[in-house]
Structure 1
Amino acid sequence: GILAFIGMAAYLPVIAKRVRGFDFFGFAMLSLGVGALQLLLDRGGEVDWFNSAEIWIELALSLTGFWVFIIHTVTAEHPFIDPKIFLDRNFVTGLGFIFVMGVLILASMSLLPPMLANIFGYPTVTIGVVLGPRGIGTMISMLVVGRIMHRFDARILVAIGFLLTAQSLYTMASFTPQMDNWLILTSGVIQGLGMGMVFVPLSTVAFATLDARYRTDATSLFSLVRNLGSSIGVSVVAALMVRNTQINHTELSAFINPYNPNLWAASPAAASGNAAALSQVDRAVNAQAMMISYINDFKILMVMTLAAIPFVILLRKPKARPAGGAPAAHMD
């Protein structure tokens, strides 16, 4: 934070003219909507979602905040976020894509550490080492894409990035409790490459046609939508994880009975009703039920990624920059 402040103080130009006042009411209503939604998502799993009065209160506050913010934004003379930015098709489409990226980034990352700890028994340091190459893939991809963007259509790069992300999730959907680290490492690197390939061209195309006076508002909204996607994604996959684990455990437990010859072959003591042996079998069933739930979540994220790719056609290709170096305002 200190380094960022020093960098801004040193290089950002000083704007003496006050462009407009601060819309505190709009900011407060947006904060209410986002804050209540965040509480709803974070607390839902702990208080049994809509069986709790707290969740209904948070839902009402969130809907009220967003509704009042929208009405105020449309009717106010100087709103917190100028609604004219939503007339730009590239920017609106970019918001949709960055929402999906927000879901994919944190939702998949929130699943892997508990999976490695609970099923594979990895210590914390090992989990960090195994997941580290994902960041290396992102770094390499962003460096390469930044150099080749002027040679390739940014929309193609975004589509390729989503395809790589989908490929990594497809690989993750084949995880088993018996696999080694290699599959985790390779899927992480591929996902990192895909995400890095999306970020740079998506940001460029999303802001390419937007008037310069709207870019401050647009940048804030871009980050907000990505964070909302992350919050919603983490909450949804966590809720599905808990629900599916319970369902899978119930279905698998139906086969743990003295009439199943496979149980007699695997553990005669458990088939005979030995409590210690049944406890060991129950732990194995728990691990398998959790693994199936993780795989289901990875498949859902993969389908979501593939479903987003066709919307790349809604983005318009930026024309070459004019001689003066200013961003072009027109698109093909």
Structure 2
Amino acid sequence: MTSEAATIPEELSQTRRYLILVTVALCTMLYAMTVTIVNVALPQLQGALSATPDQIAWVVTLNVVATAVVTPMTGWLVARMGQRTVLISCVIGFAVTSLLCATAATLEPLLAYRVGQGIFGAPIVPLSQAILLITFTGKDRAMAQGIFGMAVVVGPAVGPALGGYLAETYNWRWIFLLIVPLCIAALAMVMLFIRQSGKGGKLKLDWTGFLALSLAIVCVQLMVDRGERLDWFESGEIILYACGAVLGLYVLVVHTVTSDGPFLNPQLFRDRNFTIGLLLVFVYGMLNFTPITLLPPMLQNLKGYPDSLIGLLLAMRGVGMVIGFYLAGRMGSLDPRVGLTVGMLLTGTSGAIMATFDFNVSAEAVGWVGVLQGIGTGLMWVPLTSVAFTSLPTRFMADGSALFHLLRNFGTSLFIAVSFMVVVRSAQISHFELAQNVSPYNEALRFPSVVGHWDIGSLHGLAKLSAEVDRQAQMIGYANAFIMYAAVCFATIPVLLFVRVRHH
């Protein structure tokens, strides 16, 4: 596999190399865009499919957790089928599942198709990056990686704006239909410009470790997703998920310790910086997509913003990420802890500001906070990868990269589920506490200046007052979720003190 890859660059003309760059950038942008494009339509999906806020979050979380589980299989799939075959199969599967998403009439099939999107989309990004590294060498590689990185950033930035326009002008189904022609274009370019390579390698997949880890991750995700609705361990289903998670983790640990070639190589954890990097990338995954999943239902359901405006506001975060990546490149010669600290401070500050949002917050304020948050997350990514992989031996890079991206995706899916759980639970508690004050025995409600246009003496007036109490309670729930977001970010900063920096 190595010898074949080494000869490929010399066989390619400069024009063909750039066509390959455009091809893998399009494939990557296509997948990255679908990660965020659906977020804008979450409120519309919630109404169309009669789902609750925590249920509609599954549209995002199950897709991400499917991606997390399948991503480590990329190397094994390439060894069995070859890069070209795997990429073609993934693009076709991604197009078919996207088309099926557009046809879903209820929540259950949509969730199944979104899982399919995650499965077929998982190998696209690591495989595209591998093809890029094979195609470009020397000083050209940095340029190619820069263009590739921009595709990763532009996709999530363009997705919300485009998705918001389509959802408002037509309906949510067009968000998924848009992906199909882009997949056809990507498929045509892959078939024309990507050569077969990588097939025939002796890479083996430790199925026992892989399935044990997958079982643990899926069970934890399902337990968090459904726990609040099923009253946690009062439900037999939740107990079953907990037992599955414990069993999967137990088998994984025992197998890792006793097997000659385990799925998780224990030697990876001997590198202190890589181990700390795993913790940091898990937190990065938690921080990266959670706000753009929470904001759409909050802005539409509580503020009445149209889908197109929500899409533009979410796109502002993408603008901030472009700025953050540029600044990270300029700070490349500095201690990576500087970029990580500044990025976490900016991201945590954005969470603290979002926790102060009320019904009077302006669209401009939401947009600027998104830019601030985008700069923070953009600043964090480059030094984070530097911390994790700079001191890791080359022979462990493939295993380390697979685990690194698995934890990033799992952090995303888990924290989104936890955040919506906080929103729902806080709203229920706040509704109960606020409703206690709506009573004929409350002396303050006897004054017209306090009651305003609400009439507690009629059913219609009580219904309107109840709706307002529910609205206020939900806003408190979102505020608590953003407080948790900021707290996680600020609490992680001291971990950077344990990073070992090599001075040259």
For normalisation by structure 2, the TM-score amounts to 0.60
Q: Corresponding residue for 1:207?
A: 389
User: Per the alignment, do residues 11 and 197 of structure 1 end up closer, same or farther by CA in structure 2, a change over 3 Å counting?
Assistant: closer
Cα shift readout 1:52-102 (whole Å, capped 9, x = no counterpart): 211111111111111111111111111112110001110111111111111
User: Per the alignment, do residues 116 and 272 of structure 1 end up closer, same or farther by CA in structure 2, a change over 3 Å counting?
Assistant: closer
Q: Distance in 1 between matches of 2:132 and 2:268?
A: 29
- Paired AA for residue 112 in structure 1: L
**Aligned partners of 1:257 and 1:271 also within 8 Å:** no
Shifted more, 158-167 versus 126-135: the winner is 126-135
Within the candidate set 293, 317, 320, 2:501 is matched to 317
Matches within 5 A, 1:39-118: 39-118=222-301
Cα shift readout 1:24-46 (whole Å, capped 9, x = no counterpart): 22112122222222222333344
User: Per the alignment, do residues 269 and 164 of structure 1 end up closer, same or farther by CA in structure 2, a change over 3 Å counting?
Assistant: closer
Matches within 5 A, 1:209-288: 209-258=391-440, 259-261=442-444, 264-267=448-451, 270-288=454-472
Q: Distance in 2 between matches of 1:9 and 1:309?
A: 35
Q: Distance in 1 between matches of 2:133 and 2:412?
A: 31
Q: Distance in 2 between matches of 1:86 and 1:60?
A: 26
User: Per the alignment, do residues 11 and 296 of structure 1 end up closer, same or farther by CA in structure 2, a change over 3 Å counting?
Assistant: closer
1:12 aligns with 2:134: yes
Within the candidate set 475, 479, 484, 1:291 is matched to 475
Q: Distance in 2 between matches of 1:11 and 1:106?
A: 27
Within the candidate set 348, 351, 361, 1:169 is matched to 351
Q: Distance in 1 between matches of 2:208 and 2:405?
A: 21
C-alpha RMSD over aligned residues: 2.2
Q: Corresponding residue for 1:326?
A: none
- Paired AA for residue 192 in structure 1: G
1:301 aligns with 2:485: yes
- Paired AA for residue 290 in structure 2: A
Q: Distance in 2 between matches of 1:92 and 1:276?
A: 59
Q: Distance in 1 between matches of 2:313 and 2:261?
A: 49
User: Per the alignment, do residues 271 and 75 of structure 1 end up closer, same or farther by CA in structure 2, a change over 3 Å counting?
Assistant: same
3-state SS, counterpart of residue 119 of structure 1: helix
- Paired AA for residue 308 in structure 1: T
User: Per the alignment, do residues 271 and 22 of structure 1 end up closer, same or farther by CA in structure 2, a change over 3 Å counting?
Assistant: closer
Gapped regions of structure 2 (runs ≥ 5): 1-23, 29-82, 85-127, 136-196
3-state SS, counterpart of residue 12 of structure 1: helix
- Paired AA for residue 90 in structure 1: N
Q: Distance in 2 between matches of 1:212 and 1:319?
A: 20
Q: Corresponding residue for 2:371?
A: 189
Give the count of matched residue pairs: 319
- Residue 292 of structure 1: CA displacement? 1.2
User: Per the alignment, do residues 90 and 17 of structure 1 end up closer, same or farther by CA in structure 2, a change over 3 Å counting?
Assistant: farther
User: Per the alignment, do residues 68 and 112 of structure 1 end up closer, same or farther by CA in structure 2, a change over 3 Å counting?
Assistant: same
3-state SS, counterpart of residue 50 of structure 1: helix
Q: Corresponding residue for 1:36?
A: 219
User: Per the alignment, do residues 255 and 91 of structure 1 end up closer, same or farther by CA in structure 2, a change over 3 Å counting?
Assistant: same
**Aligned partners of 1:20 and 1:78 also within 8 Å:** no
**Aligned partners of 1:169 and 1:302 also within 8 Å:** yes
Cα shift readout 1:193-230 (whole Å, capped 9, x = no counterpart): 00111111111111111011111111111111112211
**Aligned partners of 2:345 and 2:376 also within 8 Å:** yes
3-state SS, counterpart of residue 437 of structure 2: coil
**Aligned partners of 2:456 and 2:462 also within 8 Å:** no
3-state SS, counterpart of residue 303 of structure 2: coil
3-state SS, counterpart of residue 268 of structure 2: helix
With CA pairs under 8 Å and 6+ residues apart, which has the higher RCO, 1 or 2?
1
Larger helix proportion, structure 1 or 2?
Answer: 2
- Residue 270 of structure 1: CA displacement? 4.1
- Residue 268 of structure 1: CA displacement? 6.1
**How much identity, in percent, do the aligned residues show?**
35
Q: Corresponding residue for 1:325?
A: none
Q: Distance in 2 between matches of 1:28 and 1:243?
A: 33
Within the candidate set 136, 139, 145, 2:322 is matched to 139
- Paired AA for residue 122 in structure 1: Y
Gapped regions of structure 1 (runs ≥ 5): 321-332
**Aligned partners of 1:142 and 1:197 also within 8 Å:** yes
Q: Distance in 1 between matches of 2:313 and 2:249?
A: 40
Q: Distance in 1 between matches of 2:208 and 2:467?
A: 54
3-state SS, counterpart of residue 226 of structure 1: helix
